[in-house]
């Protein structure tokens, strides 16, 4: 009986095994677009000041909360390095999600987003003092903590893209097809 069930299961899932490398990355990008794209885009918008290269005070408050407080909430007292970090973080929140949704250099973009989520989480815990229920914990039967639970799911979603690429319907796949059509030795 067990052998019959295993054989039946194998037959039913063979098609899924063939489709998974194409469908899972596309679905991961779709879920990212539907669930996280707007979150990161909105967050990036709050960090822009009057110009594209001028971060808002809120950007410093989000990324360097303790340092900004120590500087009397005068971001000009923080120096060049914090400004560069804030600008890089702000633009990463714009550019990396766009690249993931488009499937352009998606593996690198997803890896960058994982790094971003790790830094974001550490900033929430160390800089903003998130603890307790908001921090959460695995295996605690409560799946809605902002840091441990949600960010683990975000990272898992991004890992699908890191491991499998962008999938069939992507800029990466289009670029691969263009490169394959070029005669050997010809550079673009």
pLDDT in tens, 44-86: 999 998 888 889 999 999 999 999 999 999 999 999 999 999 9
The Cα 134–Cα 95 span in angstroms is: 28
- Tell me the C-alpha distance between 146 and 134, whole Å: 5
Q: What is the model's pTM?
A: 0.87
Mean pLDDT of the chain: 92
- What would the pLDDT profile of 90-144 be if each residue is shown by its tens digit? 999 999 999 999 999 999 999 999 999 999 999 999 999 999 888 998 898 888 8
Task: Give the least confident one: 13-17, 81-85, 157-161.
Answer: 13-17
Sequence-ordered list of residues with C-beta below 8 angstroms from that of 44, at least 6 positions apart, any chain: 90, 91, 93, 94
In terms of phi and psi (left: phi > 0; alpha: psi -120 to 50; beta: otherwise), the region of 132 is left
pLDDT more than 70, % of the chain: 98
pLDDT at 11: 85
Contact 124, 130 (CB under 8 A): yes
Spatial contact of 172 and 104, defined as CB atoms under 8 Å apart: yes
Take residue 145 and report the two structure tokens written for it.
Answer: 């903590």
């Amino acid at each position: 009986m067990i052998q019959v069930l295993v054989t039946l299961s194998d037959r039913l899932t063979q098609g899924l095994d063939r489709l998974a490398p194409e469908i899972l990355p596309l679905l991961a990008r779709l879920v990212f677009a539907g669930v996280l794209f707007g979150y990161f885009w909105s967050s990036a918008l709050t960090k822009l000041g009057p110009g594209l290269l001028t971060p808002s005070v809120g950007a410093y408050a989000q990324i360097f909360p303790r340092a900004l407080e120590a500087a009397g909430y005068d971001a000009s007292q923080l120096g060049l390095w914090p400004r560069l970090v804030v600008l890089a973080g702000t633009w990463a929140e714009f550019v990396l999600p766009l690249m993931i949704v488009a499937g352009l250099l998606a593996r690198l973009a997803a890896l960058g987003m994982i790094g971003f989520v790790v830094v974001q989480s550490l900033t929430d815990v160390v800089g903003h003092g998130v603890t307790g229920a908001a921090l959460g914990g695995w295996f605690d039967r409560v799946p809605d903590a902002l840091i441990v639970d949600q960010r683990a799911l975000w990272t898992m979603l991004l890992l699908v893209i890191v491991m499998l690429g962008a999938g069939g319907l992507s800029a990466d796949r289009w670029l691969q097809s263009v490169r394959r059509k070029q005669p050997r030795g010809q550079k673009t």
